[in-house]
Amino acid sequence: MLIGIDSLEIATPELYLDMTDLAVARGVDPAKFHTGLGQDQMAVAPATTDVVTLAARAAAAVLDRAEEADTASLGLVVVGSESAVDASKAMAVMVHGLLGLPEGVRAFDIREACYAGTAGLMTAVDYVAAHPGRTALVIASDLARYGLGTGGEPTQGAGAVAMLVRQDPRLLVIDPASTARTQDVYDFWRPEGESVPRVDGHLSNRCYTDMFARVLAAHQEASGLGLEDFAALCFHLPYTKMGRKALAGVLPPEEAEARGLGHLHRRYDDSLVYSRRVGNCYTASLYLGVASLLDHCDLRAGDRLGLFSYGSGAVGELVTVTVVEGFGARRDPGATVSALDARRRLGVEEYESVLTESLGPVGEDASATLLPDEGPYALTGVVDGVRRYRRP
Ligand code: HMG
């Protein structure tokens, strides 16, 4: 049975900061952010945009594209996120409510740093395999925030990617035989009650590149697939230079050219177009890269792609997918670019005020918060710990 992603849609906040503006304000050479990290812009979420509103927007776009039969067959809604808004109630249940989904659905969250979205996706593949004819909605949604003036500040961002998983998918077929590795390490973590993570940035870079090399070698041994079998590779993108460093670690560009594998480096660039403008969105980042690759690369039906997922803590997984005939008709790159172009550019002071406010409690009435979300879904306040949302 062929199972995989039938559609994939993105939602990002309506505000952004230009990385040159941030560099100037912090007294840093802008080239460090644009070239050293590979980031041009960074999405900024106001207090009324949270992981639930982003997830709902992305999921609503997926359901708009879905066949009626696929929506009627929905049996599973999973949110992968590390930005939980409640310690008990699942964000998947909130999204289920906002979208008015049928009651006969399992809805739950998965957490393991940036790996959670992939855990959700592979759970959905297993679910559809065990329940032929059913579909699953997987949403990766996160706000990546480190705080003002921190080392991680230029690697912030926010966004959600929603995917419909079903039999005979029209975008990407997923090979269930992926390769995962787990290693208990404190490279990035967020203790309960703290609003921003603690991170050992340089250790986290090393953990990421080591994990990629180990997972790739293990996948090769288990599946017999080597680098020469992939048309392109997509990576978790905490900043767009990161995957390039991991790839260069196992395949330096000169060696790639000599082995006829230069396309892996060239196509890596095609996977960065959206992330350069959005920044890190934790669990959603890998799938933002997949969307960018599908929208900007000269892929053909039957091409095999490797997706490297990394979540600090740490879990890494290499998932193999195959491009389906007619996949281009399932994407609308123009709409994604227009949505990014339509965002409002913040000044650095505005960004600082919005970020500071969004890291604090929202209160019962969110209408007076800075630059409120004008999209279809928005947080309107928190009363007795109950989050209240506007929906269309
Ligand atoms: P830093 O110390 O500010 O930067 O930390 P740096 O000094 O390492 O410089 C960064 C790059 O810019 C270097 O390139 C410099 O050479 C270059 P590299 O050697 O790495 O190729 N550079 C310049 N280039 C051009 N012109 C210049 C210039 N100056 C320097 N003038 C760091 C950077 C990413 C560590 C920091 O921002 C951070 O801690 N970020 C958060 C952690 C992170 O993103 N880690 C990534 C791996 S872990 C992961 O992906 C998981 C995660 O998403 C969380 C989860 O799983 O939930 C984070």
Whether residues 94 and 117 share a domain: the answer is yes
Whether residues 323 and 364 share a domain: the answer is no
* CA distances, 84 to each of 96, 156, 160, 252, 343 (Å): 15, 17, 13, 38, 25
Query: What's the predicted TM-score (pTM) here?
Result: 0.98
Task: Say if CB 187 and CB 314 are below 8 A apart.
Answer: yes
Token pair 């395949």: residue: 251
Task: Pick the last residue of a domain from 281, 298, 327.
Answer: 327
Check if 20 has its Cβ closer than 6 Å to any atom of ligand 1: no
Whether residues 337 and 308 share a domain: the answer is no
Structure tokens at 249: 């670690």
CATH of the domain at 237: 3.40.47.10
Whether residues 232 and 309 share a domain: the answer is yes
* Ligand 1 atom at minimum distance from 313 CA: 56
**Cα-to-centroid distance, 18 and ligand 1 (Å):** 17
Check if 7 has its Cβ closer than 6 Å to any atom of ligand 1: no
**Cα-Cα-Cα-Cα dihedral sign, residues 248, 252, 253, 259:** negative
Task: Pick the last residue of a domain from 300, 327, 354.
Answer: 327
Residue ranges making up the domain that contains 81:
3-171+331-390
pLDDT tens, per residue, the chain with 392 residues: 999 999 999 999 999 999 999 999 999 999 999 999 999 999 999 999 999 999 999 999 999 999 999 999 999 999 999 999 999 999 999 999 999 999 999 999 999 999 999 999 999 999 999 999 999 999 999 999 999 999 999 999 999 999 999 999 999 999 989 999 999 999 999 999 999 999 999 999 999 999 999 999 999 999 999 999 999 999 999 999 999 999 999 999 999 999 999 999 999 999 999 999 999 999 999 999 999 999 999 999 999 999 999 999 999 999 999 999 999 999 999 999 999 999 999 999 999 999 999 999 999 999 999 999 999 999 999 999 999 999 99
Q: How far apart are CA 11 and CA 162, in angstroms?
A: 8
Task: Say if CB 98 and CB 391 are below 8 A apart.
Answer: yes
Task: Say if CB 194 and CB 208 are below 8 A apart.
Answer: no
Whether residues 323 and 178 share a domain: the answer is yes
Question: Which residues are catalytically annotated?
Answer: 82, 114, 236
Whether residues 162 and 277 share a domain: the answer is no
Whether residues 308 and 204 share a domain: the answer is yes
- Give how many domains the chain has, as a whole number: 2
Whether residues 159 and 208 share a domain: the answer is no
90 cis-preceded (ω within 30 degrees of 0): no
Whether residues 74 and 37 share a domain: the answer is yes
